Structure 1
Amino acid sequence: MAQVSEETPEAEAATAPAGQAIVVTGSRIADPNIESASPVAVVTAEELTLQQANTVEESLRQIPGIVPSVGSNVNNGNGGSTYINLRGLGANRNLVLLNGTRVVPQGLNGLTNIDVIPVALLERMDVLTGGAGAAYGADAISGVVNFITKQDFSGAELAATNAITEEGDGYTFRADLTVGGNFADGRGNAVFSVGYTDREAVFQGDREYGRENISSFSGLPGGSSTAVPSVITVPGTTSGTLQVDGDSLRPFYAPFNFNPFNVYQTPLEQYRMFGSGRFEITDAIEVFAEGMFVQNTTSTIIAPSGTFRNVLETPLSNPFLTAGIRNQICGLDTDGDTDGVQALFGQAECDAAALATDPNDPNYRTVGIDYGRRFVEFGPRLNEYRTRLFQVKAGARGALTDNLDWEIFGAYGESENVSRQSGNGTFTRLQQSVLSTNPDTCLDTSNDCVPIDLFGPLGSLTPEVQDFLDVGNSGTEGAELSQIQAFISGDLGFGIAADPISIAAGVEYRDYYAFSRSDLLSQTPGEVLGNGAASPDADGSYDVKEAFGELIVPLVVDSPIGEELTLELAGRVSDYSTTGTEYTWKIGGTYTPVYGVQYRGGFQKVTRAPNIAELFAVPTTGLDNFSNDPCAGAAPTNNANLRAVCIAQGAPASSIGNIIVDPAGQVNVTSGGNPNLDAENAETWTVGAVIQPGFLRNFTLTFDYYNITLTDAITTPTIDDVFSACFDGTPSATNPACTAIRRNPATGNLFGSVATTPGLPLVLTNQGRVFTDGIDLTMNFNTDLGFGGLDLSFFGNWTNRSTFKANQNDPASLNRDCVGFYSINCPSIQPEFSFTQRTTLSVGDADLSLRWRFIDAVEVEPEFAGDFLEEFTTIGAEHYFDLTANFNVTDNFGFTAAVINLFDNEPKVVGSNIGSTAYNSGNVYPSTYDPLGRRYSVTARMTF
């Protein structure tokens, strides 16, 4: 039966070859009779086929209890990799394994790109939540995802998938060829698989709900203040934000609609190879090896670049500066009334400066103008990421005694992510162009400079200007992981009860190295226009030595007090070169009082050492999201205390009353690594039951409560936490929490050039506290109807709480709960209740299967409910249905056809300002709610 289920150990053992040891994710003990106290969600190969999943991310993010992370539906904020986020605790707090071995991470952040996993060879995906540090080491605070490939594959299989949306876009093609066989009278087996995937982009402008950028505040067309025609502010004046309107300036009136250029689905091209083999040298020794190579090319496609509120020195003799606009700049008279406006120059001086084209002329004058001009003529910004990853693993295993086996292996992997950007432009060349006083020639002609017209309408930027400004930039990040592990596993041959005590003990060594390299343009803050944070070079490394042990002790077997009572113990000691010695341990057990009812539970103490980015990343200024600036508008003009705070944060006095919130909802933030970080600690516990009643054959129900508390968490405060620390109560110009916020020195805004506007400080500390708890419920049932078989499965999650406290030591620090809410503080939606239910009818060689996926209603975080248009403050419960037919035409040929999002459900529109750009994009939340609409997929398979 295809399923997403809480697989019971008995079910796994029942499907394994006789005598073969079963390895359960979460333990190093191999035992055909093992019963795990930890719940493991299993996604089978059959389920992946029914879902028509072309990458594992497509399937994993739909499992209840998993919160969508960066994936194929994240455009602005996607670095070319895809991650998994268990329980919403962060992608850096779970561990990705391939056949029980760590996969080399992508870069400085230590995260594994799950797009590299070979879907065609998967036998199943095990998702264990609630802590697995004792079994696998650090990073497993929220759990592990273990991808298990097919073993002993024999024959050949060719499969090809074609998928397309009903709108005719988003075409996806995937093909895989797998060959394998046994040799040496079954003593050996080898398998090799090659594959190719091509996925096309789906643009937001191709869906009605994404065509126009919508303001979450008003419901009216919104967008960016970097627009066409130019939006300008003259620093040092009280002119406010103006926009070019023909031969004059008037208050900002036409934001730029950036939606149509962005995408709901990022394009992907992937080549992949995977191979594995084993050979029994003797009856007691077997050698094995596996290796994979993957090359991904994916792109983010973002709205055209521009000068995002950069202050450029502009001659009053600029050839594109009209007389009307020049006079307004000199006198700053936007409405014919100069009362209250301080003129920069008198009329005579302004007129003389208009004619002074030589910088040596005493009448030559320049004005620093803050420009917001979108380079629509250049086309969108393209960032192409080419990821290459390879990993090899080799080892040997065998029998140490009749009851104990040994295994030793080593693995080495490298990953590299090369990014190439185009469509941006550079600040230095832009400033060079703006200084022109001749329409045909720049003052500085050393690099074939071309003058630019920032005062003209759409079309005023020529291809020659683009060739001069858009020189391209690039960067590379990568990582290396070396690991060696040796352990013994089996049983002691004796025990307290009838069954012997099972044991595993071993040692492990890992060595990490990661780096980030970029060209000079990318390293220079504010130099690459429209590029957000700079990318300074960084690297770092650490190693860890570990010893671990596990015991499974049967206390009762077939006794009057119960069918079984088993105790599980595990511990691990880790010596990090960065944070020292850390201890992880686990205690758990199972109890079966009567046949068909098993209780299980466990407690774990888990640690996670900081990764290389958290330790060594160079501080940089980039972009985040916010919705309300206390210094914006008229508020500080009537409040002397607030005015003083805004000025203390770097706002010029002349900007008070004219500070604005970026219409695109973005804010500058500064963050980086902290070499003084310590490990974070977690306590996790689960308690539940497995019920298989004798009166209802082939029915299984599991019920598990989980509770995860993370202290000394490596976190940054939320945007709202930074504002609250300053502005709640009575703000003070001497409060360090206030003065740490740094505004645009030209406009007082919290956005603008990252070279001059640090914005909000997001400092990494060990002060955070994170908590979540909830319940997982699964039910599986199958029966024979006479004419066919019926399979039913259900997997539901209820998340009770998911809280974050920026300062665990401060009673006044807000303990923010994000379950059922969305906002800038709760970026990726985590519903209170969600489930998937599948019904499959099998008749002969045909299967017809319907999957029902439910997402509970959510609403805006209460503190922001009054800021936005009421209709955008709730997203109702959503139901998705997928219909799949699977048919084996012959023994060697079969096909699967599916209709995904059967009823063509559209995502709820909430506008573009209500959450983080990564997840609130195109007016909707495309990682949680399907933005593509109804689509069709067909897979054909040939086996030999």
Structure 2
Amino acid sequence: MKPYIRRRLLASTLLISAAALSTPAYAQVAEATETAPDAQQAPEAQVGEDIVITGSRIARPDLEVASPVNVIGSEEIALRQPNTAEDLLRELPSVRPNLGPAVNNGSDGSAAVDLRGIGANRTLVILDGRRIVPFGLDGVVDLNVIPTGLVERVDVVTGGASSVYGADAVAGVVNFITKRNFSGIQASGNYRVSELGDAVQYRGDLLVGANLDDGRGNVVLGLGYANRKAVLATSRKIAEIPIGSGTGTFLGSTGSVPAIFQSSLATTTNPNGLPTTGLGAVIDPATGSFRAATQADTFNTNLGTYFLTPLEQYNVYASGRYEVADNIEVYATGMFTRNKAELALASSGTFGNAYDLPLNNPYLPTTARNQLCAANGISVADCNAAAAVNTGTARTVRVIPSRRFAEYGPRGNPIESTMFQVQAGIRGDIVEGLKFDVSAQYGETNQNQARINWGSSSKVQQALLAYRNAAGQLVCSNTANGCVPLNVFGANGSITPDQIAFIDLDAQIRRLVSQKVITGSINGDLFNLTSPFANSPIAFSIGAEYRKLTASATPDAPSQIQGEVLGTGARTPPDFGTYDVREAFGEIIIPLIEDNFLYRASIEAGVRYSDYSTTGGSTTWKAGGTIEPIQGFKFRGMYQKAVRSPNIQELFQSPVQGLSNLLVDPCAGAAPTASRTLCEGTGAPAGTYGGISQPSSNQINVTTSGNPNLDVERATTYTLGAVIAPRFIPRFSLTVDYFNIKIRDLISAPSQNDILNGCYSTTLNPSQTLNGFCSLIRRNPLTGSLNGAGETPGVILGSSNLGRLQTAGIDVGFNYAIPLGNSELRLGFNGTWLDYYRIQATPLSIFRECKSYYSTSCTNARPEYKWNARASYDFGVPDVSLLWNHISKVRLEDIRPASLGLNDPGPGNTATAYNGILPQFRQVKSYDYFDLNVRFDVSDEFEFGLLVENLFDKKPPLLGNGVAGTAFNNGNTMPTIYDVIGRAYTISGKLKF
């Protein structure tokens, strides 16, 4: 952004802020309700105007469901100006941030929603009450496919909805409701930019609709385009360099320039070996000899990485309906989305891969060669003789050079995905008061993920087997493929473009997910039966559904070879899985009392029987009700038993190596805290103890895999609440709901901390004997570290049904509109108090309390209090609104003996360790963000707005790299929770006619 434009925007912001802050800091946010707004507005809907009440399949507008439903209405959507659907949900108090634009290392390019923080795979995302084809093998829907410009409102059911929609709705349902019966043309767009002139996002949407045949039908077409530009981590001061959470200073990667060599022969056992520290050895360019590496020799891994990942999106959505006979209607929808996301990591390299190096390699300095010979027990005479060989038959030594290919540029990871879904059906009246709906849908997600600038390990090996021939030329022993000798010993720039071109390798992975759904249901009045104390008849719904889900991952040939694609650490195996499920469901709502000795009372129940091809039959059910003694004072409750079957990834994923954060390896360094017996018993070769490297870039290898023997997990959930909307206070509502979720037979894996501490900690393993946790640790067989390629599984995170999870809390919603002359002050509040969040992966793991904690086990922080509050005031022109987002303080999880039970602090439950994290990184104070919106209704046809996010330019907390999981602890902070972009401006406009 040009400086003078920025100054003008800032001046305008300050003026508007002064006016807005004179009003109370509350506002209309997600509105808590028990019926859908459409239902309240259209008591007698026609055939083509189906009432969508999220949380129930009974389409009768006079009924109220007992589950809490939060509604993000059209006004709130207009105020937030979302670029994607994820922007609408990320800050909701009931949502824990998941994959999205703030996740770079560990993302797959998608965006997901995680209600209650119990896993995105336990939150069901639907569109107009219908399922959406998932993005990947885990069955999770990518929010980037939602046609944001067509969304009228979003209903969020947080009381569980498994009996209505399926068992994967354990935490609840997010239902995006599109504009229906639209007639006319509407064009809208927005443009966002940070105060620093980056983080550009823009979106444009066109909506065209028409009524047919005097209202017998309607067609709608929506077109949308969105673009989000990347923000480099190093563009923000907090992430200019990686900071060690245990040192507070620069902590780079041992994959560096010049190469840092890992030696399997420690100086304590071989005085003539390479001079190593916990980092390794590096060749001094001045002397040509190895010296002990220091932190100054490590590499800045924040270079080239993203704080905000780029995304380009095209979407098309069409729907149509037509009444072919009285009260009989056919309908169809179709949607297509094309997304291009991109992830980026620091430059590729050899990253601890082991290679054979000929002693006559022309790039190997003489002094360093002599040191290598001594470290490998080769005499000086034999060493000199091998160096003099001018053919490709010289003696070789095994070396582990961690050379970063900075000359390559950052590793690119573009991910292109296309999704299409079509649906057709027929609905109508069987008789008066009894409706039917039969539909079929099919959808596919195609994902092509490329790895650009990663490199080939086999070609590195080929290029290292080089020598200078009798003619003085540098040549490879194997000249196939146009081999060019590679110099891994020099400084940045010593690897030439032709050397890079030879080792270059771009890999591809394709994923395909398809979903078929056939659904039929009947709902309406149950033979006009009524309670003796009510006038409204009993309502019911029955139906059946068939679903088939198939998912596959097909990597190219190089990706399937162990360690061939540099920077991946392991191979990517092909995966395939499929299952189908046949379900029958039923639901009933019984109005018990209406305007009798109580104002209103009703009960409801629902049941769903599912027969999965993978896990067999299971039953999910719910029971609840509402009682309103006097009008405006209602109490509600819902109890649910949910049975979730494992998804394709949980069942069929092949073992895959990835990375996770670890600051200190107990077996690493000159004075390991773990015993020699345990370190060698978990795979460290004899002789390496005392010379094992600390984790490269604070990251270690972890191996995850599916388990075909998994069974279902079983959840018990309930909500109890009240809705206060007294008639003597017009336009006022207050909702309070307690939620409680317990899951047993949880599909889970022990955390890496559970495993490492369970094996090595003298507190948790006082006898220091090899135990079950130790069997899940497999170290590098050459160096003893937890880094390496395919030969180093690292920490094994296997899934089982041995876990349990418990969480509870209270949601509070408040809305109040106060008329002030010709204007109106609108106040709203939506908050969640988290009582506890406890998870135990296996009976031997800690029963971990993650409320208010962050760590590599709890990963992203779960604050105790989180709320949104909005105050809006209509000045006539403009309309001003201030949003307040609050996140309570959080702190680092500490380690305590398992005998103390929960790791939550209490009397006598004193912390024993923080894994070496410095005190300043062990807590984050509470955070408050304010967003200011000003809207101008220029005319009935045109609306213009200005949004200022992070009004006071609040900076994120500095935590270093090592306090939480890799995906969420990026750039020395946690960018999915705390804003790293800074103050940003959005201008928006809408034209309709």
Partner of 1:445: 479
Q: 2:536 aligned with 1:527, yes or no? A: no
Query: What amino acid sits opposite 2:721 in the alignment?
Result: G
Equivalent-residue separation in structure 1 for 2:182 and 2:300 (angstroms): 53
1:663 CA drift (Å): 4.2
Aligned pair partner of 1:377 in 407, 411, 416: 407
Preserved contact between residue 192 and residue 201 of structure 2 (Cα < 8 Å): yes
Structure-2 change in CA distance of 1:198 and 1:557 (3 Å): same
Aligned pair partner of 2:283 in 240, 244, 247: 244
Equivalent-residue separation in structure 2 for 1:533 and 1:142 (angstroms): 34
SS of residue paired to 2:354:
strand
Q: 2:945 aligned with 1:900, yes or no? A: no
Partner of 1:794: 829
1:307 CA drift (Å): 0.5
Equivalent-residue separation in structure 2 for 1:349 and 1:223 (angstroms): 37
Q: 2:345 aligned with 1:299, yes or no? A: no
Q: TM-score, normalised by structure 1?
A: 0.96
Aligned pair partner of 2:379 in 346, 349, 359: 346
Partner of 2:171: 142
Equivalent-residue separation in structure 1 for 2:404 and 2:439 (angstroms): 55
Partner of 2:431: 401
Partner of 2:367: 324
Aligned pair partner of 2:809 in 774, 794, 809: 774
Partner of 1:693: 726
Partner of 2:966: 917
Equivalent-residue separation in structure 2 for 1:267 and 1:910 (angstroms): 25
After superposition, residues 580-591 of structure 1 pair within 5 angstroms as 580-591=616-627
After superposition, residues 796-875 of structure 1 pair within 5 angstroms as 796-807=831-842, 810=843, 813-844=845-876, 846-863=878-895, 865=914, 867-875=916-924
Q: 2:450 aligned with 1:420, yes or no? A: yes
Preserved contact between residue 769 and residue 806 of structure 1 (Cα < 8 Å): yes
1:203-262: per-residue Cα shift (whole Å, max 9, x none)?
011111111111111111112111111100232454431122211222121221111311
Partner of 2:6: none
1:358 CA drift (Å): 2.6
1:9 CA drift (Å): 2.2
Preserved contact between residue 735 and residue 812 of structure 2 (Cα < 8 Å): yes
Moved more, 864-873 or 295-304: 864-873
Query: What amino acid sits opposite 1:744 in the alignment?
Result: N
Equivalent-residue separation in structure 2 for 1:380 and 1:840 (angstroms): 45
Equivalent-residue separation in structure 2 for 1:621 and 1:611 (angstroms): 20
Equivalent-residue separation in structure 2 for 1:19 and 1:127 (angstroms): 23
Q: 2:403 aligned with 1:366, yes or no? A: no
Moved more, 848-857 or 226-235: 226-235
1:401 CA drift (Å): 1.6
Equivalent-residue separation in structure 1 for 2:68 and 2:678 (angstroms): 52
Preserved contact between residue 159 and residue 638 of structure 2 (Cα < 8 Å): no
Preserved contact between residue 222 and residue 663 of structure 1 (Cα < 8 Å): no
Structure-2 change in CA distance of 1:304 and 1:819 (3 Å): same
1:199 CA drift (Å): 1.0
Partner of 2:12: none
Structure-2 change in CA distance of 1:654 and 1:778 (3 Å): same
Q: How many residues align?
A: 923
Partner of 1:335: none
Partner of 1:228: 257
Equivalent-residue separation in structure 2 for 1:10 and 1:758 (angstroms): 50
SS of residue paired to 2:234:
helix
1:784 CA drift (Å): 1.1
Equivalent-residue separation in structure 1 for 2:438 and 2:44 (angstroms): 24
1:719-772: per-residue Cα shift (whole Å, max 9, x none)?
11112332332466653432331110111001111x111111111111111111
Aligned residues with identical type, % of pairs: 42
After superposition, residues 658-669 of structure 1 pair within 5 angstroms as 658-669=691-702
Preserved contact between residue 40 and residue 61 of structure 2 (Cα < 8 Å): no
Q: 2:354 aligned with 1:311, yes or no? A: yes
Equivalent-residue separation in structure 2 for 1:397 and 1:490 (angstroms): 13
Equivalent-residue separation in structure 2 for 1:822 and 1:591 (angstroms): 40
After superposition, residues 178-577 of structure 1 pair within 5 angstroms as 178-238=207-267, 239=274, 240=276, 241-246=280-285, 247-253=288-294, 254-332=297-375, 344-360=377-393, 364-438=394-468, 440-492=474-526, 493-496=528-531, 497-498=533-534, 499-560=536-597, 562-577=598-613
Equivalent-residue separation in structure 1 for 2:772 and 2:388 (angstroms): 48
1:362-383: per-residue Cα shift (whole Å, max 9, x none)?
xx32111111111100000001
Equivalent-residue separation in structure 1 for 2:954 and 2:459 (angstroms): 47
Preserved contact between residue 716 and residue 762 of structure 1 (Cα < 8 Å): yes
Aligned pair partner of 1:125 in 148, 151, 154: 154
1:122-178: per-residue Cα shift (whole Å, max 9, x none)?
011111113211000121111111111011011001112111111111111211111
Q: 2:191 aligned with 1:159, yes or no? A: no
Structure-2 change in CA distance of 1:495 and 1:532 (3 Å): farther
Query: What amino acid sits opposite 1:514 in the alignment?
Result: A
1:850 CA drift (Å): 0.6
Structure-2 change in CA distance of 1:862 and 1:647 (3 Å): closer
Query: What amino acid sits opposite 2:40 in the alignment?
Result: A
1:419 CA drift (Å): 0.8
Preserved contact between residue 71 and residue 81 of structure 1 (Cα < 8 Å): yes
Preserved contact between residue 447 and residue 512 of structure 2 (Cα < 8 Å): yes
1:61 CA drift (Å): 1.1
Preserved contact between residue 170 and residue 202 of structure 1 (Cα < 8 Å): yes
Preserved contact between residue 234 and residue 329 of structure 1 (Cα < 8 Å): no
Equivalent-residue separation in structure 1 for 2:265 and 2:151 (angstroms): 63
Query: What amino acid sits opposite 2:191 in the alignment?
Result: N
Question: What runs of 5+ residues in structure 1 fail to find an aligned partner?
Answer: 333-342
SS of residue paired to 1:326:
helix
Preserved contact between residue 236 and residue 746 of structure 1 (Cα < 8 Å): no
SS of residue paired to 2:419:
strand
SS of residue paired to 1:527:
coil
Equivalent-residue separation in structure 1 for 2:972 and 2:157 (angstroms): 34
Equivalent-residue separation in structure 2 for 1:19 and 1:860 (angstroms): 53
1:181-201: per-residue Cα shift (whole Å, max 9, x none)?
111001111100111111110
Preserved contact between residue 36 and residue 53 of structure 2 (Cα < 8 Å): no
Equivalent-residue separation in structure 1 for 2:146 and 2:173 (angstroms): 15
1:890 CA drift (Å): 1.5
Preserved contact between residue 266 and residue 691 of structure 2 (Cα < 8 Å): no
Equivalent-residue separation in structure 2 for 1:98 and 1:592 (angstroms): 32
SS of residue paired to 2:599:
strand
Aligned pair partner of 1:592 in 628, 638, 644: 628
Equivalent-residue separation in structure 1 for 2:76 and 2:163 (angstroms): 30
Query: What amino acid sits opposite 1:913 in the alignment?
Result: G
SS of residue paired to 1:170:
coil
Equivalent-residue separation in structure 2 for 1:281 and 1:19 (angstroms): 17
1:487 CA drift (Å): 0.5
SS of residue paired to 1:108:
coil
Query: What amino acid sits opposite 1:7 in the alignment?
Result: T
Preserved contact between residue 193 and residue 274 of structure 1 (Cα < 8 Å): yes
Preserved contact between residue 655 and residue 705 of structure 2 (Cα < 8 Å): yes
Equivalent-residue separation in structure 2 for 1:783 and 1:19 (angstroms): 31
1:359 CA drift (Å): 4.3
Preserved contact between residue 540 and residue 589 of structure 2 (Cα < 8 Å): yes
Preserved contact between residue 255 and residue 663 of structure 1 (Cα < 8 Å): no
Equivalent-residue separation in structure 2 for 1:19 and 1:117 (angstroms): 26
Q: TM-score, normalised by structure 2?
A: 0.91
SS of residue paired to 2:481:
coil
Equivalent-residue separation in structure 2 for 1:856 and 1:736 (angstroms): 38
1:764-791: per-residue Cα shift (whole Å, max 9, x none)?
1111111111110000000210031111
Q: 2:676 aligned with 1:647, yes or no? A: no
